[in-house]
Amino acid sequence: MALNSYRTGPDEKGHFGNYGGRYVSETLMPLVMQVEQEFKAAMQDEKFLAELDELNRQYIGRPSPLYYAERLTEHLGGAKIYFKREELNHTGAHKINHAIGQVLLAKRMGKTRVIAETGAGQHGVATATVAARFGLKCTVFMGEVDIERQKPNVFRMKLLGAEVKPVTSGSATLKDAMNDALRDWVTNVHDTFYIIGTVAGPHPYPMMVRDFQSIIGRETKEQILAQEGRLPDSLVACIGGGSNALGLFHDFLDDPDVQMFAVEASGHGVDTDKNAASIAGGKPGVLHGNRTYLLQTEDGQIEEAHSISAGLDYPGIGPEHVWLHEAGRVNYVSATDDEAMEAFQLCCRTEGIIPALESSHGLAHIIRTAGDLPKDHICVLNLSGRGDKDIFTVAKELGQEI
Amino acid sequence: MSRLTPCLAALRAENHAAFVTFVTAGDPNHETSFEILMGLPGAGADIIELGMPFTDPSADGPAIDKAAQRAIKAGANMKKTLSMVTAFRAAGHETPIVLMGYFNPIYAYGIEKFCTDAATAGVDGLIVVDLPPEEDAELLEPANANNIDIVRLATPTSDDARLPAIVNGASGFVYYVAVAGVTGGKSASADDIGEAVNRIRKYTDLPVAVGFGIRTAEQAGAIAKHADAAVVGSAIVSLIENGIDADGTPKGDLVENVLNFTQTLANGVRSGR
């Protein structure tokens, strides 16, 4: 179906076609509606936008460079590859973009405490960072299993003054951390703002996180026009919940000649029970406040996701992505753990950049396809995070002790 | 009309509040859970809420979360939950049953088919905690068409602007969640609850049940003074948790303990007014 615009969603109740919405308990309903009102007002408020802009430049270090990956391009022998260097942001990933926006909103709403869920710890670190910057109390929910896997980030959060609460409910991973964050929020509605870490959750979160992240695409457009004098032919980003992908894509959705590829984590393979590819292996359902594609059993029970990258290890995906998938505007593909590991190492050696395992999934798609593309094909990868946090996982995978 | 309205009307005519119990279907296993269900009417339950297990019960506290995980581990699913209700009715029980849970298992089952099968089994009402009025039209219509009530939730955060939308379309009763929080958490004061119930009554003639934070017979009795029904869930479910071995096997006195406690709570509600 061809639409006049892919950028008009969501509707006023937060639906992207059949997806999205507000599936939360009644206690939270008035609160999420208030968040929506405040967000809309803030985005019309010159003072709010000026403060956001100032923080983006001086605190996060924006704009992030659009970098021509020359040696990788030569190595692959086809398309011209650019990296949007979100890994150079303060805290080392794109997560800070929406964390800073949401903390400003929390402050505007007079909230004194923020909470967040985290898997790999990147969103938790970003939230702890902005909470410290604005003097707000911060509690981060993290699955017991992930706390063990991501010790450096746990310590980072603590250094930043956050309380890290181990989650033991359910399967003790990211989805359960989100459940516990919702439980905390419903109990502390009066003083607490929930900083959600991706383009999912009840409306307005998918829209709000997208709007704070879409600075990635706006900058990219300006930079590629300056550097190449034209729009790119393709955009590539990894996708778990989908915040970095939508951040890059959103500004280009109505440019019909720009192809887009979102790369899901297929773990051991989409045909195995160890993957995190909600588009490839999931079906529609309702979880964490929105209707979207979910990895689930016949009986509607949510399945655990698996990916080598903890940041993609989630059994759902943002609702706008499902809509873009069904509309055929964005291509959803996948990469396995092994492909991501190869991409990770190639990036280290050809570009001198240690990429996050998450971003390595996007790169894996480029490695698979770039060689067959003409040399004048311009491809932009969202290098969404740096891989310092992943060195322990990678070492283990390579059978090396550090 | 489901069994809920006549049941609550009859109790109201006798100047009694209803005692509503919650247990999770299939907890700790199908057989024991069914035994508990069969015993609840005799232990004083006027209405039974039967939890539909879900992996991610984000509005519930630890007690009911663990109950759901136990049930799923023991093989619970929607078909078995409905079969439990069928068998309960086949045994001649007329106590109203309200299925309570989250939307995804219903959605996965197929909404229309779920409503038909639930009605055939003998279900009277549904409480779907993550389906606010703004999103429940697709369930409300097929449920009502099958004489199943949609029980909506009102909470301390439901202001006067929202209450009319909540009660509009609700049937059976309105469930007042007494505290902003999860199940099994803090308790609200009886005065606050009385005030809230009166506020809800300004907008509806439906009976108002109160739940969340009610753990003892005394608390249940105090609620019964103000509300049309008092709901106890986590306190009962915790007894199931305490009544199983480390490997999940029910101890011999589990069912008896649960039903004795239920009777104590029922007596509390009865003596409330």
CATH number, domain with residue A107: 3.40.50.1100
Between A145-154, A292-301, B99-108, the lowest mean confidence (pLDDT) is in A145-154
| Interatomic CA distance for residues B3 and B7, integer angstroms | 6
Q: Are A272 and A127 in a shared domain?
A: no
pLDDT band at A313 (very low <50, low <70, confident <90, very high): confident
Q: Which helix (H) or strand (E) holds A67?
A: strand A66-68
pLDDT in tens, B144-163: 999 999 999 999 999 999 99
Q: Are A192 and A71 in a shared domain?
A: no
| Interatomic CA distance for residues A382 and A243, integer angstroms | 11
Residue A22 in contact with partner chain B when CB distance is under 8 A: yes
pLDDT in tens, A74-87: 999 999 999 999 99
A368 CA to centre of own chain: 23
Query: Chain A to chain B, count of Cβ pairs less than 8 Å apart?
Result: 122
Q: Which of B58, B99, B129 to mutate to test the interface with A (most CBs of A within 10 A)?
A: B58
Contacts of A106 (CB under 8 A, 6+ apart): A114, A134, A136, A193, A195
Chain A residues touching B128 at Cβ < 8 A: none
CA closest to A168 among chain B residues: B62
Chain B residues touching A171 at Cβ < 8 A: 55
Picking from A188, A209, A230, the residue at the C-terminal end of a domain is A209
| Interatomic CA distance for residues A71 and A73, integer angstroms | 5
Which residue from A359, A396, A36, A26 is spatially nearest to A204, judged by alpha carbons?
Answer: A36
The stretch A385-398 carries a mean pLDDT of 93
Q: What is the mean pLDDT of chain B?
A: 96
**H helices within B130-253, ranges in order?**
137-145, 163-167, 190-201, 217-226, 234-242
What pLDDT does residue A274 have?
A: 94
The stretch A385-391 carries a mean pLDDT of 93
Q: Are B192 and B228 in contact (CB under 8 A)?
A: no
DSSP-derived secondary structure letter, B169: T
| Interatomic CA distance for residues B201 and B231, integer angstroms | 18
Q: Are A308 and A340 in contact (CB under 8 A)?
A: yes
Which residue from A210, A182, A204 is spatially nearest to A22, judged by alpha carbons?
Answer: A204
Has residue B66 got a pLDDT over 70?
Answer: yes
Answer yes or no: do B56 and A302 touch at CB < 8 A.
yes
Query: For residue A5, is it within any domain?
Result: no
Chain A residues touching B181 at Cβ < 8 A: 27, 183, 186-187
DSSP-derived secondary structure letter, B213: S
* Angle between helix A95-108 and A29-42 (nearest 10): 100
> What's the token pair of residue B134?
């703004």
| Interatomic CA distance for residues A319 and A22, integer angstroms | 11
Q: Are A379 and A260 in a shared domain?
A: yes
Q: Are A70 and A197 in a shared domain?
A: no
Residue A300 in contact with partner chain B when CB distance is under 8 A: yes
Residue A285 in contact with partner chain B when CB distance is under 8 A: yes
> What's the token pair of residue A398?
């390579």
| Interatomic CA distance for residues B99 and B81, integer angstroms | 9
Residue A34 in contact with partner chain B when CB distance is under 8 A: no
Picking from A179, A209, A239, the residue at the C-terminal end of a domain is A209
Chain A residues touching B57 at Cβ < 8 A: 179
Which residue from A119, A318, A67 is spatially nearest to A213, judged by alpha carbons?
Answer: A318
Count of structural domains, chain B: 1
User: Judging by DSSP bridges, how do beta strands A378-382 and B149-150 pair with one another?
Assistant: unpaired
Q: Are A192 and A273 in a shared domain?
A: no
> What is each CA distance from A29 to A22, B19, B130, B154, B173, in whole angstroms?
8, 28, 10, 11, 20
| Residue written as token pair 């195995």 | A272
A269: left (phi over 0), alpha (psi -120 to 50) or beta: left
Task: Indicate if the alpha-carbon torsion angle B39, B44, B48, B52 is positive or negative.
Answer: negative
What pLDDT does residue B122 have?
A: 98
Helix (H, G, I), strand (E, B) or coil at A380: strand
Q: Are A88 and A100 in a shared domain?
A: no
Q: Are B72 and B127 in contact (CB under 8 A)?
A: no
Query: For residue A46, is it within any domain?
Result: yes
Count of structural domains, chain A: 2
Has residue A1 got a pLDDT over 80?
Answer: no
Task: Indicate if the alpha-carbon torsion angle A53, A55, A56, A57 is positive or negative.
Answer: positive
DSSP-derived secondary structure letter, A303: P
Query: For residue A78, is it within any domain?
Result: yes
Between B190 and B141, the more confident residue is B141
Answer yes or no: do A288 and B56 touch at CB < 8 A.
yes
CA atoms within 13 A on the CB side of A159: 8
Query: For residue A4, is it within any domain?
Result: no
Q: How far is A157 from chain B (nearest CA, A)?
A: 24
Q: How far is A47 from chain B (nearest CA, A)?
A: 30
Query: For residue A7, is it within any domain?
Result: no
Q: Are A281 and A194 in a shared domain?
A: no
Q: Are A285 and A355 in a shared domain?
A: yes
> What's the token pair of residue A287?
């979880």
Answer yes or no: do A299 and B106 touch at CB < 8 A.
no
Chain A residues touching B59 at Cβ < 8 A: 25, 27, 182-183, 186
Answer yes or no: do B56 and A286 touch at CB < 8 A.
no
Q: Which helix (H) or strand (E) holds A132?
A: helix A122-134
Q: Are A33 and B137 in contact (CB under 8 A)?
A: no
* Angle between helix A151-159 and A122-134 (nearest 10): 10
**H helices within B41-102, ranges in order?**
62-73, 78-90
| Interatomic CA distance for residues A79 and A233, integer angstroms | 9
Residue A37 in contact with partner chain B when CB distance is under 8 A: no
| Interatomic CA distance for residues A317 and B158, integer angstroms | 30
Which residue from B47, B113, B102, B103 is spatially nearest to B79, judged by alpha carbons?
Answer: B113
Nearest CB among B69, B78, B106 relative to A170 is that of B69
| Interatomic CA distance for residues A160 and A103, integer angstroms | 15
Nearest CB among B55, B103, B158 relative to A286 is that of B103
pLDDT in tens, A20-73: 999 999 999 999 999 999 999 999 999 999 999 999 999 999 999 999 999 999
Picking from A209, A230, A260, the residue at the C-terminal end of a domain is A209
Nearest CB among A29, A182, A284 relative to B58 is that of A182
What pLDDT does residue A169 have?
A: 84
Chain A residues touching B182 at Cβ < 8 A: 183, 186-187
CATH code (residue B228): 3.20.20.70
Q: Are A187 and B182 in contact (CB under 8 A)?
A: yes
Answer yes or no: do B162 and A24 touch at CB < 8 A.
no
The stretch A321-338 carries a mean pLDDT of 98
Domain range for B206 is 4-272
What pLDDT does residue A234 have?
A: 98
Chain B interface, Cβ < 8 Å to A: 53-62, 65-66, 69, 72, 77-78, 102-109, 129-132, 134-135, 152-159, 162, 166, 177, 180-182, 185
Task: Report the percentage of chain B scoring pLDDT > 70.
Answer: 100
What is this structure's pTM? Answer: 0.96
Contacts of A193 (CB under 8 A, 6+ apart): A35, A102, A103, A105, A106, A109, A111, A113, A114, A115
B59 CA to centre of own chain: 14
Domain range for A52 is 15-56+95-209
Query: For residue A75, is it within any domain?
Result: yes
> What's the token pair of residue B69?
């995980």
Catalytic residue list contains B205: no
The stretch A125-129 carries a mean pLDDT of 98
> What's the token pair of residue B268?
């509390």
Ramachandran angles phi, psi of A211, nearest 5°: -65, -35
Exposure class string for A208-224: b at 16+ Cβ within 10 A, else e? bbbbbbbbbbebbbebb
- ipTM score assigned to the predicted complex: 0.95
Query: For residue A402, is it within any domain?
Result: no
> What is each CA distance from A9 to A13, A42, A375, in whole angstroms?
10, 19, 35
pLDDT band at A310 (very low <50, low <70, confident <90, very high): confident
What pLDDT does residue A2 have?
A: 58
